[in-house]
């Protein structure tokens, strides 16, 4: 029995004893989302309670289980009872929950969110039967929020590294590539290129040195899938790197991760140290001919470095700028050696495929789009968070069944991040897969989904995303560097009420030219938000141009705010949030709004519960308000 076998045996015994706990176990959701919501403060309060009441309990920090809108989340498992979850915990409710469990020995049914166990536990619903969780299929996220990400024993106890052990002890590298081919795994970084094809090219490319890079440079606004997976289950990603490294014949692995992810970096470093202690990294791993090491490269946060060749340049110490292809990185990549670059989620999927087999994996998804996909579901949605669904799930099910719908009328959804497309209500029944999204003019991207309601201005949204990609352009090629700047200037004119109908043709022409002529994926997809909004929301563009009207009252130059006296209750909520003191008036009486002081920040409009703030369109030509 080697060192790892002993470690696994001990880990499983420890895990069995842990599940049959003799004292309370308190789990704290301590990924970035939980910490931002106050999880670490709750941990301090729990420690104080335990010391003050002189009770025994084990405290464990876990990662993100998904429903970020419920953070901070605290779970408690009493001896002989299921694990019970509590959401949006604060100092007051924490005290009640701890007294109920640690003093009285029972769960607090009224405050409980759900439980991890058999149905019907004290009237508390099963956690995975909750509306946001029930439609999901958790493959990549199977351990997230359930195990301690800094304890390799817990990962080993839930069959961690079994996929790699199976590969290295019973399979050749070609066998591994074959299983990945049979599983139909496509790269989860955005393009959806078949994983096995890249691997086969790299493996068959000549060269004594080959590299494997895990791309964790997650730069999309509103996207946090990769960060959450690394923070919650780092060993799954690292095991995937071992499998991929073995398959392509690489001896060196690099995790390229943005420096803005300090917790993810910290947990990766700790996990790599644990791997070395268990003999999972270094020379002749598990007495085989396979040697592999992993190091971390922190990126400076350039969005363009998510592109493969720009990322390689950054690792080499050069400016992150895309290169023309061919040659492709699989043939000539890092330092001229054959190199494979796979996304974090691709790596996190591999251990499940190797452990359970290709046939098991093909049960999920649809033909040509096998498996599951994680998404960051954000925006004007009732239940924002991290989700995982089968490929082929409809947008309607994601938005309304999982996300709970929107507070106001649904307007659109942006898929694929800033380079994705903005899809209207007519696409709610569209299947979320690579080809269906592409046919609609959008992309899968790494998995960002931004939901918008009637308070979103489509033209302003397109300008925001294009302005982002324009600023993140490396500037190397003319179509992207110059074309996106011209498109932003046109959109700015339109949102200022200075556009004309010819601008729409110019936007379309520029967008098509950039897509065809840009050097890399950033430039080729940058026009997508504009092109799709022109296609599906053309009327809003025309309203801005012909009527100088922003129906969402977002474009400042086209609106001015006023108080509707008949609706104003004088609650003073708007008075409190107004940064310039433009709104005044005594409590319980209709307020006044001084237009000379109003900076049109929308704070009053968004906070008013009585719809007493109106945004009126301005006729630019005369300066008079439209009725």
* Architecture in CATH of 368-453: Roll (3.10)
Average pLDDT for residues 100-111, to the nearest whole number? 94
State the chain's mean pLDDT as an integer: 93
Would you state the pLDDT for residue 7? 87
Average pLDDT for residues 316-341, to the nearest whole number? 94
Would you state the pLDDT for residue 619? 55
**DSSP, res 485:** H
Average pLDDT for residues 38-61, to the nearest whole number? 96
Q: Is the peptide bond before 174 cis (omega within 30 degrees of 0)?
A: no
Residues 6 or more apart whose CB falls under 8 angstroms from that of 226 comprise 216, 218, 343, 344, 345, 446
Contact 298, 257 (CB under 8 A): yes
130-151, pLDDT tens digit by residue? 999 999 999 999 999 999 999 9
Which of the four CATH numbers 3.30.70.2740, 3.40.630.10, 1.20.1440.230, 3.40.440.10 does domain 458-547 have? Answer: 1.20.1440.230
Query: In the chain, where are the structural domains located?
Result: 14-129, 161-356, 368-453, 458-547, 556-617
Would you state the pLDDT for residue 622? 38
Using a pLDDT cut of 70, give the percent of the chain over it.
98
Asked whether the predicted pLDDT for residue 345 surpasses 60, the reply is: yes
* Architecture in CATH of 14-129: 3-Layer(aba) Sandwich (3.40)
Using a pLDDT cut of 90, give the percent of the chain over it.
84
Average pLDDT for residues 388-406, to the nearest whole number? 97
**For residue 55, with 0-12 CB atoms within 10 Å meaning exposed, 13-18 middle and 19 or more buried, which class applies?**
middle
Asked whether the predicted pLDDT for residue 310 surpasses 70, the reply is: yes
DSSP 563-597: E-TTT-----HHHHH-TT--EE--TTS--EE-TTT
Would you state the pLDDT for residue 589? 93
What sign for the dihedral angle of Cα 542, 547, 552, 553? positive
CA distance 248 to 341: 11
At 445, the pLDDT band (50, 70, 90 cuts) reads confident
Residues 6 or more apart whose CB falls under 8 angstroms from that of 254 comprise 211, 212, 213, 214, 294, 295, 296, 297, 315, 334
Asked whether the predicted pLDDT for residue 377 surpasses 90, the reply is: yes
Contact 384, 458 (CB under 8 A): no
What sign for the dihedral angle of Cα 515, 520, 526, 528? positive
Asked whether the predicted pLDDT for residue 122 surpasses 80, the reply is: no
Closest CA to 177 of 424, 350, 388: 350
Which of the four CATH numbers 3.40.50.11540, 3.40.50.300, 3.40.50.620, 3.30.365.10 does domain 161-356 have? Answer: 3.40.50.11540
**Range 556-617 has CATH code 3.30.70.20:** yes
Give this prediction's pTM: 0.93
At 100, the pLDDT band (50, 70, 90 cuts) reads very high
Would you state the pLDDT for residue 620? 52
What sign for the dihedral angle of Cα 448, 449, 454, 459? positive
Would you state the pLDDT for residue 1? 52
How are strands ordered across the β-sheet holding 372-379? 385-390, 372-379, 448-453, 410-415, 421-424
Alpha helices in 76-209 (DSSP H): 91-98, 152-157, 162-170, 173-183, 195-204
Contact 94, 45 (CB under 8 A): yes
> Tokens at residue 545, please?
């141009």
Let me know if the fold of 368-453 is the same as that of 458-547. Answer: no
Tokens 């959109």 — which residue?
491
CA distance 244 to 179: 12
Return the higher-pLDDT residue of 627 and 486: 486
CA distance 79 to 558: 63
216-235, pLDDT tens digit by residue? 999 888 889 999 999 999 99
168-199, pLDDT tens digit by residue? 999 999 999 999 999 999 999 878 899 999 99
Phi and psi at residue 20, to the nearest 5°:
-95, 55
């Amino acid at each position: 029995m080697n060192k790892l076998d002993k470690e696994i045996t001990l880990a499983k015994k420890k895990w069995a004893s842990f599940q049959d706990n003799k004292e309370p176990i308190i789990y704290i959701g301590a990924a970035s989302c939980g910490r931002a919501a106050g999880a670490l403060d709750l941990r301090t309060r729990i420690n104080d309670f335990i010391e003050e009441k002189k009770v025994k309990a084990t405290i464990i920090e876990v990662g993100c289980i998904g429903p970020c809108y419920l953070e901070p989340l605290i779970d408690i498992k009493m001896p002989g009872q299921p694990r019970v979850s509590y959401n949006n915990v604060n100092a007051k409710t924490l005290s009640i929950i701890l007294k109920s469990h640690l003093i009285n020995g029972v769960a607090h049914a009224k405050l409980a969110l759900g439980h991890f166990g058999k149905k019907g536990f004290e009237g508390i619903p099963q956690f995975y039967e909750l509306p946001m969780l029930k439609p999901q299929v958790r493959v990549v996220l199977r351990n997230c929020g359930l195990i301690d990400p800094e304890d390799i024993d817990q990962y080993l106890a839930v069959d961690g590294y079994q996929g790699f052990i199976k590969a290295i002890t019973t399979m050749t590298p070609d066998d591994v590539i074959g299983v990945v081919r049979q599983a139909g795994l496509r790269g989860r970084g955005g393009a959806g290129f078949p994983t096995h094809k890249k691997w086969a090219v790299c493996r068959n490319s000549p060269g004594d040195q080959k590299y494997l890079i895990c791309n964790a440079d997650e730069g999309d606004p509103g996207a946090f899938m990769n960060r959450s997976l690394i923070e919650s289950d780092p060993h799954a990603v690292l095991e995937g790197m071992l499998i991929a490294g073995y398959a392509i014949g690489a001896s060196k692995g690099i995790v390229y991760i943005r420096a803005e992810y300090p917790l993810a970096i910290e947990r990766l470093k700790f996990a790599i140290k644990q791997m070395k202690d268990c003999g999972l990294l270094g020379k002749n791993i598990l007495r085989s001919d396979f040697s592999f090491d992993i190091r971390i490269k922190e990126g400076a946060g350039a969005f363009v470095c998510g592109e493969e060749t720009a990322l390689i340049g950054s690792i080499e110490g050069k400016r992150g700028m895309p290169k023309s292809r061919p040659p492709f990185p699989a043939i000539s990549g890092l330092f001229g050696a054959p190199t494979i670059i796979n996304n974090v989620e691709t790596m996190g999927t591999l251990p499940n495929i190797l452990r359970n087999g290709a046939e098991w994996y093909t049960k999920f998804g649809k033909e040509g789009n096998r498996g599951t996909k994680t998404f960051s579901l954000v925006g004007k949605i009732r239940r924002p968070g991290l989700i995982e669904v089968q490929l082929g799930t409809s947008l309607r099910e994601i938005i309304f069944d999982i996300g709970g719908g929107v507070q106001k009328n649904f307007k659109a959804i942006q898929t694929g991040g800033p380079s994705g497309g903005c899809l209207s209500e007519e696409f709610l029944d569209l299947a979320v897969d690579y080809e269906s999204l592409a046919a609609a003019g959008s992309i899968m991207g790494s998995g960002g989904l931004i939901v918008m309601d009637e308070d979103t201005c489509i033209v302003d949204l397109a300008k925001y995303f294009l302005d982002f990609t324009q600023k993140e352009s490396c500037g190397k090629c003319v179509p992207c560097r110059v074309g996106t700047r011209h498109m932003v200037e046109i959109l700015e004119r339109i949102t200022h009420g200075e556009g004309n109908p010819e601008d729409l043709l110019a936007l379309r022409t520029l967008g098509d030219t950039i897509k065809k002529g840009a050097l890399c994926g950033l430039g080729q997809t940058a026009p997508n938000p504009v092109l799709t909004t022109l296609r599906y929301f053309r009327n809003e563009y025309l309203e801005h141009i012909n009527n100088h009207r922003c129906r969402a009252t977002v474009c400042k130059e086209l609106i001015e705010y006023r108080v509707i006296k008949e609706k104003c209750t004088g609650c003073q909520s708007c008075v409190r949030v107004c940064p310039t003191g433009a709104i005044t008036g005594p409590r319980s009486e209709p307020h006044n709004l001084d237009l000379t002081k109003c900076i049109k920040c929308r704070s009053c409009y968004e906070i008013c519960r009585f719809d007493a703030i109106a945004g009126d369109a301005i006729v630019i030509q005369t300066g008079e308000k439209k009725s």
